Homo-oligomer: A and B are copies of this chain.
Amino acid sequence: MSKEELKRVSDSKTTRLVKKGEPIFKEGEKLDGVFCVRDGVSKLSKLSANGKDQIVKLASKGEVIGQRSVVAEESVNLTAVAVSDMEVCFIPKEGIVSTLHTNPNFTLEVLRHMAHDLKEADDVIVNMSQKNVKQRMAEAFLYLKKNFGEDEEGFLRLVLSREDISNVVGTAIESCIRIISEFKKKGYLKTSGKKIGIADEKALNNLIEGF
């Protein structure tokens, strides 16, 4: 983006604090801008007919949410809720839309980003439909480690409730709990309070590969 554009965006953006559990936007709303995550993590989920949420993506620092809706000029198809206390900045759509029309490099950048999201979504589809719950659980933990890291003691930085985990994996809470305790017993995971740590990454990988 040109300096001028950058300045315009930077002038018009506003930051906002969102407490854990609070929504940033909800399915069906119309957004007049996008949000950029400054700090914290947000879950992007969708309510299904049976009343359960499915978490489709977790967005953290540096990620932009709501672009799909702004780009397509449609209402949002996902609900964004803070999983930890967050700081987000809001960028109104006017600036974005006009830049999209005039600056091909910016548009291309957004396009590449969306291409990446789409690929990830395809992978999720395959995982959801072809892998069993244990394998999906294993995937989820490795994903959490890869994307959010571990603390000094080897526990996952991002702490999710069992319910959130089951909404990522697409299973009943009880199944999720049982599998965590099974993994713990087998030495694949360790826990401390709500914190979960990966103890045997290789075993989890083997599980996913079907060994």
Q: Counting CB contacts under 8 A, is A126 at the interface?
A: yes
Nearest-CB residue, chain B, relative to A46: B126
Bound-state Cα–Cα, A101 to B104, Å: 5
- Using CB atoms and an 8 Å cutoff, list the residues of chain A in contact with chain B: 46, 48-50, 52, 54, 56, 67-68, 71-72, 74, 77-78, 100-105, 107-108, 110-112, 114-119, 121-131, 170, 208-210
Shortest distance from the beta carbon of A133 to any chain B beta carbon, whole Å: 10
Is A131 a contact of B100 with CB atoms below 8 Å? Answer: no
A129 neighbours in B (Cβ, 8 Å): 54, 128, 170
A128-B125, A128-B128 as given contacts; A108 in contact with B101, CB under 8 Å:
yes
Is A111 a contact of B170 with CB atoms below 8 Å? Answer: no
Is A130 a contact of B49 with CB atoms below 8 Å? Answer: yes
Bound-state Cα–Cα, A115 to B74, Å: 10
A56 neighbours in B (Cβ, 8 Å): 122, 125-126
Of B102, B115, B128, B170, the residue contacting A72 (CB under 8 A) is B115
Bound-state Cα–Cα, A210 to B47, Å: 14
Bound-state Cα–Cα, A52 to B112, Å: 29
Bound-state Cα–Cα, A3 to B18, Å: 49
Is B112 a contact of A71 with CB atoms below 8 Å? Answer: yes
Is B210 a contact of A49 with CB atoms below 8 Å? Answer: yes
A170 neighbours in B (Cβ, 8 Å): 128-130
Of B71, B107, B118, the residue contacting A68 (CB under 8 A) is B118
